[in-house]
A and B are shown apart, each in its own frame.
Chain A
Amino acid sequence: MLAFIIRRLLQAALVIVIMSGLVFVGIYLIGNPVYILISPEASELERAQVIHNLGLDLPLWQQYLVFVEQALGGSFGKSFVFGEPAMKIVLERVPATAELALFSTFLALFVGVPLGIWAGLKPNAISSRGIMAGSILGFSLPNFWVGLMLIMLFGVWLRNSEWLSFLSLPASGRGETVTFLGTRLSIFTIDGWRHLLLPAFTLGLSYMALNIRLTRAGVREVLLQDYVKFARAKGLPERRVIGVHVLKNILIPIVTVTGLELGTVIAFAVVTETVFAWPGMGKLLIDSIVSLDRPVVVAYLMTVVGLLVVLNLVVDVLYSVIDPRIRLGGRSE
């Protein structure tokens, strides 16, 4: 088990190194950011000064080395736009994105899986068909369109209606925050929840739909298995048959998918944050790409890469914990 983890860690480190190189080279090609920061009337001298200050006059490979050196020390250069250390700016936004991502995953799991189980147990009920139809929608509709529609519904129409305006929800921004463990979190305030609900639902919808379908498929498949029949033949209450025998077997694909999806969720947060003006990492990324704020983009990418690598590792480990066949392999006679 230990060897397994070490091997994966080494692989992860390798991936990070390669990605850093790729990212660095790629960003370098975007363009010269100087022209944003200097007015067009600036003289050659002033321009050269700024270039020198930002270290942009060194050859590419030197810039990369400087980058690596600083990165290992935890610094990713100063943001061209904000003037502060890029990583600091990125990390400041992490709690907001994390809140959003985690809450949406939570929604997707705890709403999606039960719905999927229901649909799997009673596949021909009207409610099940409705759930499945809804899941196709949830899965197909582009993230940002769902956000737009929700804004339209909850932010505009409901707000403008006399009777139902209490149901309306804010269409942008993050709610009030409370400092908890050194970071500002908004899930502890009611206002925070109200602001969180729409973006989290939007972000989590496609993943929720996926969960519903996966769970339903899993349940249908597992119900046909002999061990379910055998469990009933032993006289086990149906509650246990479904809740233990069936559930544990369908967890495996769900865990796998959760791990894979978390990365996608973090990525799609970029879109959701843009639509809802949520002050997280994703919005920062878009803004930085547009303003060519290289250090911030690089810092963002490195953060996400690190996050994804860790996530993949955790999923691998979890997977082997849930499925004993993978963990224990072979036979003992």
Chain B
Amino acid sequence: MSAPTLSVRDLATHFFTRDGVVKAVDGVSFDVGRGEILGLVGESGSGKTVCGFSLLGLVDPPGRIVGGQILFHGENLVTAGEERLRQLRGKRIAMIFQDPMMTLNPVLRIDTQMVETVLAHDKVSAKAAYARVRDTLVRVGIASPDARLRAYPHQFSGGMRQRVAIAIALLHDPELIIADEPTTALDVTIQGQILFEVQQLCRDTGTALIWITHDLAVVAGLADRVCVMYAGRLVEQGKVDDVLDRPLHPYTRGLIGSVPSRTARGQKLTQIPGMTPSLLNLSEGCAFRSRCPRATTVCETSPPLVELRPGQAARCFHPHLEGADSERAGL
């Protein structure tokens, strides 16, 4: 097994607001190997998006990375300069954002926005850049790209725009793609298509992919491995089948249980009681304990991330080791 493409160690990103420090990402560690698809799962506010931005150094003030390492092929991105990061962005590490309507500049043509990406990193002629752009559009399934290229973003449908965004990410054949909920804003059918195509692409080119989402169903069909985030911390990690069939952490279990499933039709959905805590007021100890049915006094200290089964780790003092299957059958 070759060295991982990306190796994150104890990443911490904090926001220094007027009302206090928000620990959006608080000690997160994971690896992504070549050609591997990692699902980064969590609700709104879990810190997953900030985590994604942190990897590329795109966190806006008042936030900044306060600790940890991000090793991309051994190079630490946290200490790399802005110019070095710029060279990597778009070329070797690419990102796909959630809402392509907002991420494509509305007053610039599609070809402008794509060609500039090529020219930012490669010294090629405009013609060559244009040809590459065109080919990449075909690759993502946009037939007759010439007409498309002269158009503006608002003239496209959501699915088409997202394909353009994916094409932009692929222009330089990056080794790592970070996709932040790219299909959330799309119809389910389009979503399905794009997921399939992305999976193919990664298998074919060996590109590593981090897919950030809150949707477990997507993760189930797409990812090789899964990281579950809660309140800025990683609470469970492992192969996707393991985590979804035999979740260790009560939160993961609750998440899975709250997804409606075909086989459990008519049964009450499990709800996780309580609310996501405000990241401003995180107290010591396990962030989930106020909502956890298994919490005890020991949970007032922070549980460490422990590998409880081969290849599967959880941050909990009372993990579900029984091995009972979750109601995942419907996923």
Partner of B107, one of A232, A248, A333: A248
Q: Is the CB of A325 within 8 A of B97?
A: no
Chain B residues touching A, range: 35 or more
* Contact, CB under 8 Å: A331 / B156: yes
Closest to B99 in A: A226
User: A245 contacts B108, CB within 8 Å?
Assistant: yes
CB-contacts of B184-220 with A (<8 A): none
Cβ A230 vs Cβ B97 within 8 A: yes
- Indicate if B91 sits at the interface (CB-CB under 8 A): yes
Task: For B106, give the chain A residue with the smallest CB separation.
Answer: A325
Please tell me if the beta carbons of B105 and A231 are within 8 angstroms of each other in the complex. Answer: yes
Chain B CB within 10 Å — which of A227, A229, A233 has the most?
Answer: A233
Of the listed residues A230, A234, A240, A252, the one surrounded by the most CB atoms of chain B closer than 10 A to its CB is: A234
How many residues of chain A have a CB within 8 Å of chain B? 28
Question: A292-333 CB contact bits vs B (8 Å, 1 = yes)?
Answer: 000000000000000000000000000000111100101111
Q: What secondary structure prevails in chain A residues at the interface with B?
A: helix
B137: which A residues are within 8 A, CB to CB?
none
The yes or no answer to B281 lying at the interface (CB within 8 A) is no
Whose C-beta in chain A lies nearest to the C-beta of B121? A235
Query: Counting CB contacts under 8 A, is A126 at the interface?
Result: no
Taking the complex as formed, is A237 at the interface, i.e. its CB lies under 8 A from any CB of chain B? yes
Instruction: Give chain A nearest CB distance to B129 CB in angstroms.
Output: 13
- A234-B105 in contact given A324-B152, A330-B155, A333-B157 (Cβ < 8 Å): no
Contact across chains for A225 and B90 when beta carbons are under 8 A apart = no
- Does B300 have its Cβ within 8 Å of any Cβ on chain A? no
Smallest CB–CB gap between B238 and chain A, Å?
A: 29
Look across to chain B and name the residue whose beta carbon is closest to the beta carbon of A327.
B152
A residues neighboring B (CB under 8 Å): 225-227, 229-238, 240, 244-245, 248-249, 252, 322-325, 328, 330-333
- Chain B interfacial positions (CB closer than 8 Å to A): 53, 56, 58, 60, 86-91, 94-95, 97, 99, 102-109, 116-117, 120-121, 147, 151-152, 154-157, 160, 168
Extra contacts besides A225-B102, A332-B151 (17): CB < 8 Å: A227-B104, A230-B97, A230-B104, A233-B94, A235-B89, A235-B120, A236-B117, A238-B86, A240-B116, A245-B105, A248-B107, A249-B107, A252-B107, A322-B107, A324-B109, A331-B155, A332-B155
